Structure 1
Amino acid sequence: MLASYLTLAAILFCVGLYGVLAKRNTVVVLLSIELMLNAANVNLVAFSKYGVVPSLSGHMFALFSIAVGAAEAAVGIAILIMLYRARGTVNVDDYDELRG
């Protein structure tokens, strides 16, 4: 049963990695980073449930990771909105310099 959770996490991580490396839209890149973070959360919960001594420590780390991911997404979207207002595009290739 643990193998199915690890397979799901690997698939999620690979889809997220593809989105980060291949896509040029900044919103898609941010969503792909969140997919990779959720793959790590699936691993934390699975190892917590099927470990030698089952405990809630993996669940707690996953909840903390979700909170950090939400803060990261909020800051990323705020930066993206400011860049869109300044440049008029959300293409990653157009953000080659970050001077004001």
Structure 2
Amino acid sequence: MPSFQLQVYGGVTMNNTLCLAVFLALVYIRGLTWDFSSEVLVIFLVCIIMGLFTSFRTKFPLWTCFVAFLLYPLSLVLVYILDYKFGWS
């Protein structure tokens, strides 16, 4: 793997980690109510699925975009099920 790809992956990881830490610190310090468990779980699942899917390839055929596009309606359905069928907030 070329070194520039490793730099991009490192930069993305550090950016996401820093933004998440700042966000969680604000929620904790201000004592905000957390009502987004189902949404965060679904985002986490989509990130894991796409991360696993993309970590084994360097070139992506056209059909892989349909997998990513289909994860959006699937995530909406999962949030609906978790919120209204199982009562998560």
Sort the TM-score into its range (normalised by shorter chain): 0.3 to 0.5
Structure with more relative contact order (C-alpha pairs < 8 Å, separation 6 or more):
2
> What TM-score comes out, normalization by structure 1 length?
0.43
